[in-house]
A and B are shown apart, each in its own frame.
Chain A
Amino acid sequence: MPLDVKPDLKREFDVVGTRPLRPDGIDKVTGRARFGADATAPGMLIGRILRSPHAHARIRKIDTKKAEQLAGVKAIITRDDLPDHSNGERGTYDVLYNCMAREKALYEGHAVAAVAAVSAAVARQALKLIEVDYEVLPHVTDVDAAMKPDAPVIHDNIFTEGVEPKPDKPSNVARRSEFGHGNVEAGFRECDVVVAKSYRTEATHQGYIEPHACLASVSPDGSGELWVCTQGHFMIRNVSAQVLGMEISKLRVTASEIGGGFGGKTHVWMEPIALALSRKANRPVKVVMTREEVFKATGPTSSTSIDVKIGARKDGTIVAAEAVLRYQGGAFVGSWADLGAMTAFACYDLKNVRTVGYDVIVNRPKTAAYRAPSAPMAAFAVESTIDELARKLGIEAIDLRIKNAAREGTRSSYGPTYGPIGIGATLAAAKNHPHMSAPLGKNQGRGMACGFWFNFGGQTCTSLNINLDGTVALSVGTPDIGGSRASMCLMAAEELGIPYEKVRCVVADTSSLGYNDVTDGSRVTFSSGMATILAARDAIRKLCGRAAQMWGISAEAVVWEKGHAKPAGPNAGEFPPLSLKEIAAAAATTGGPIAGHHEFNADGAGVSFATHIVDVDVDRETGATKILRYTVLQDAGKAIHPAYVEGQFQGGAAQGIGWALNEEYIYGEDGRLQNAGFLDYRIPVCSDLPMIDTVILEIPNPKHPYGVRGVGETSIVPPLAAIANAVSNAVGVRMTHIPMSPPRILKALEGRS
């Protein structure tokens, strides 16, 4: 842990908190920015992947002979080309298995073979010539169905973890997790009002507009290069090397500009396939997924089935709360239910609370993280139940939340005791917001809900070089997914006391910088930001040392103020301040290059809370819901670049709106995904949404020098429940199944009348 990270809460910032243009902006408005699919290489081949049409099938045989004979085909790989290098390490084996099916195809879209050819047309034709002999097996895609004793068992080596006695039969229930404290049964006995309800949510996709793409080049000597759109190129390097049995140092990975990720690009999907094709063909190979492949073979969330029970006394004090959460993780073991179970009641101060999570395996693509993964579904169930409880108690929904909100010193529902947190502040701001009291029309309703996310830090390394002319080259290892280079430049400039424009930030490749964890967990502004600040302080120490040399005084006698070295006091001597530029210009004669570094485990990310308010209009005759007005109130700790903080709030809300109303994975009886495209997987379009108002609260995180918390994820947590509550207030039906698509709302309305 670094020492001097305690924030100076009274600090006045010079550039932090302003809204300068982003350094990568011009490239992105002129078409010059290079994303995953935009790279080419001399002699490049095009790779394509053959995928299973079956949800669950044993692969008896793969015959590639005919495809090999097609002119222009340069390499074909199947499971036989990918030996198991996992040494029994389950995580690595699962990545290998997910990249290319082994004994069985576990979901529709599971890769079974891949081709590299001189053109996309030849590669496509070659795929048609590969003959796969499948033995189709019974499948299961529904989370509740997969838990039944008679469900087809997908893996014969999974025995439910976390139950006593240990099961002797394999099942699709990978794990049971339990969190909480107090005595829930006794708590419920104390309650005057208890509300219990069951909910379902359908799977959604992150829906980044850029499909996965990479360009791999591996030489016969085993060294390789990979260009890839990812949230974590160091992770891609390590995992790909492990899967393929390569030495890590021989694989250099460069992160392209990334066209959205939201968690979906924190996993390895097909990069080892591109590397293996390139290795076999001894040519560069580019693999770009189609949108259909993205939907069928990457990143959806869990679909869930959740039971919630909450009890309170007449005065509105919640005494006991309980939830059982079943999350499917696709065809591989995940820990998605853990996160749902941990976050479900995190907004509240509860004496008796218990959550139980079940991680379930089904014949669907491997679940991936999606912005505060697993939290939105749990919040939907809990926050809907809270509103029902408020209705029964005759208390305003916001007042019930304010009364029971967690605060500093509250023992969280997942265990630890909270430090200073922002749930109370967001609720107070919501209560006083003009949106709360604006008039509503007929068939219109207002809803609100709260949300929580942990945020985290992780392994981080940055390097900051002072150039001859006093400008600064900053290297970070976390891909810039939404303007983070601007925030990094702001923090470096703030610390060094130089203008924002004098700092240029690049995302360094894996050979140029130490390891960095993935851009996830809302960690970049927190952890790369903190590493940048600390690297700047390291550079300042060296700059002061150089100034001391130039003055012939001791380094301890020099201080740094507003971009200048100054003698610490009258005893140090009388010297005019030396600017960073002047010290930089003299670097060659004072000891050579000046650089600051920092590498660490960035722990101490601050938990983050949000409250959302939404107005809807429901057409009683069609079940269509229109979002009329939307307000996000969230604690950012400290907003480094407020425009991009607002952008995170708005973007998360929009994704939540899509999830709430229309987005869902629809499976047929055959276990095949029916809507693998943007036509029928309906993410919100521009005309679906109103402006999204934002209120940034700043309750500083004591563990970051500027008080930063993560802001990226929390904003997707409240919308599902906020909209369900608004629909309930508009037309009097409690929707328990997400998405609240028009047929579901109309059915609920008809069922009531």
Chain B
Amino acid sequence: MPGVHVSTTVNGDRLDFVCEPEETLLDCLRDRLGLTGAKEGCGTGDCGACSVILDGRLVCSCLVLGVEAADREIETVEGLADGDHLHPLQRKFLEHAALQCGICTPGFLMAAKALLDHNPSPSEEEIRFGLAGNLCRCTGYDKIVRAVQDAAKELQGD
């Protein structure tokens, strides 16, 4: 079966790839574009490890077809830092020890970014529900919530 040519924008870069129509955006990011920051934890939209931001909305890239990415804008964890300046969320995750194994971290960072983009000063409850689509099995979420609270505070202060 012939592949489909897709032109898209990832982290501000115009990129092209060829994929099968049934391939997911996650597979395309990882296998076609070499962006392995998004992880496959379940493949069914239940864990959030593959979270990316698609045209401003948080999505599970495992539940998006690669062909749907045509002419759209995708943000992934690889684009979160500004050059060698970590995004405040990245820094706060490190400072608060909000990761143990780190497999869920890229998804959490993207979910937290989407949350703070829409709601710059969320309550603890809003953070918890905003991140409920991301599973973490290591931390019990405590330090993740604190890191997001702290990052929100810093971003608000800027």
Contact = CB atoms under 8 A, between A and B. Distances in A.
Interface stretch (A203-211, A232-240, A522-530): A203-211
Interface in A11-41: 19, 21-22, 24-26, 28-35, 37-38
B36 A31 contact: yes
Nearest to B146: A691
Nearest to B89: A29
B140 A650 contact: yes
A291 B97 contact: no
Query: Among the interface residues B77, B96, B136, which one has the most CB atoms of the partner chain A within 10 A?
Result: B136
A29 B43 CA distance: 21
Contact of B44 (A481, A643, A677): A677
Interface in B74-104: 76-78, 80-81, 86, 90, 93-97, 99-104
Contacts of A34: 36
Contacts of B44: 291, 677-679
B139 A651 contact: yes
A651 B94 contact: no
A687 interface: yes
A30 B145 CA distance: 19
B109 interface: yes
B90 A29 contact: yes
Contacts of A687: 125, 128-129, 131-132
A650 B142 contact: yes
Contact of A30 (B81, B96, B140): B81
Interface stretch (A258-266, A378-386, A432-440): A258-266
A211 B40 contact: yes
A654 B135 CA distance: 12
Interface string A641-654: 00110110011011
B97 A31 contact: no
A655 B137 CA distance: 7
Contacts of B22: 121
Nearest to B141: A686
Contacts of A33: 102
Contacts of A210: 39, 41, 101, 103
B138 interface: yes
B67 interface: no
A260 B103 contact: yes
A683 B137 contact: yes
A30 B77 contact: yes
Given A209-B137, A483-B100, A25 B94 contact: yes
A647 B64 CA distance: 33
Query: What DSSP secondary structure best describes chain A's contact surface?
Result: loop
Interface in B28-60: 30, 35-44, 46-47, 49
A654 B47 contact: no
B20 interface: yes
Contacts of A646: 97, 143
- Counting chain A CB atoms within 10 Å of each CB, which of B41, B46, B142, B143 scores highest? B142
B76 A31 contact: yes
A257 interface: yes
Nearest to A481: B101
Interface string A25-59: 11011111111011000000000000000000000
B106 interface: yes
A262 B22 CA distance: 34
Contacts of B142: 650, 689, 691-692
A482 B145 contact: no
B69 interface: no
Contacts of A207: 135, 137
A209 B41 contact: yes
Contacts of B8: none
B99 A29 contact: yes
Given A35-B39, A290-B43, A678-B42, A686 B131 contact: yes
B39 A37 contact: yes
B42 A677 contact: yes
Contact of A481 (B93, B100, B127, B129): B100
Contacts of B136: 209, 686
Contacts of B80: 29-30
A685 interface: yes
B143 A650 contact: yes
B139 A650 contact: yes
B41 A291 contact: yes
Contact of B100 (A30, A35, A651): A651
Contact of B105 (A29, A679, A686): A29
Given A25-B94, A29-B90, A689 B140 contact: yes
A651 B99 contact: no
A415 to B, nearest CB: 33
Interface in A83-139: 121
B98 to A, nearest CB: 9
Interface in A366-414: none
A34 B106 CA distance: 12
A22 B97 contact: yes
Contact of B141 (A30, A208, A290, A689): A689
Nearest to B1: A121
B93 to A, nearest CB: 5
A407 B30 CA distance: 54
A259 B132 CA distance: 19
Given A22-B94, A209-B41, A38 B99 contact: no
A208 B101 contact: yes
Interface in B98-134: 99-106, 109, 125, 127-129, 131-134
B8 to A, nearest CB: 18
A499 to B, nearest CB: 18
Given A21-B94, A482-B101, A651 B137 contact: yes
Residue of B80, B81, B99 contacting most chain A CB atoms (<10 Å): B99
Interface in A655-678: 655, 677-678
Given A29-B94, A259-B101, A678-B46, A208 B35 contact: no
Contact of A21 (B43, B95, B128, B140): B95
B46 A677 contact: yes
Nearest to A642: B97
B152 interface: no
A482, A687, A691 — which one has the most chain B CB atoms within 10 A of its CB?
A: A687
Contacts of B86: 26, 29-30
B131 to A, nearest CB: 4
Contacts of B47: 209, 291, 678
Contact of B138 (A30, A211, A291, A647): A647
Nearest to A693: B142
Contacts of B127: 686
A36 to B, nearest CB: 9
B144 interface: yes
B102 A257 contact: yes
A686 B41 contact: no
Nearest to B42: A291
Interface of A: 19, 21-22, 24-26, 28-35, 37-38, 121, 206-211, 257-262, 288, 290-291, 481-483, 643-644, 646-647, 650-651, 653-655, 677-679, 683-687, 689, 691-692
Interface of B: 20, 22, 30, 35-44, 46-47, 49, 76-78, 80-81, 86, 90, 93-97, 99-106, 109, 125, 127-129, 131-146
Closest 10 CB pairs of A and B: A31-B37, A259-B103, A654-B140, A28-B102, A650-B140, A482-B100, A678-B46, A643-B97, A31-B77, A29-B90
29 contacts: A19-B97, A21-B95, A29-B80, A29-B109, A30-B80, A30-B81, A30-B86, A31-B36, A31-B106, A35-B36, A37-B36, A121-B20, A209-B39, A209-B41, A209-B104, A209-B136, A210-B103, A259-B103, A260-B103, A291-B43, A481-B100, A482-B101, A646-B97, A651-B138, A651-B139, A653-B140, A677-B42, A677-B44, A685-B135
Given A210-B103, A678-B41, A687-B128, 16 more contacts: A21-B95, A30-B78, A31-B37, A35-B36, A35-B39, A37-B36, A37-B39, A38-B30, A260-B103, A291-B47, A650-B139, A651-B100, A651-B139, A654-B141, A683-B135, A683-B137
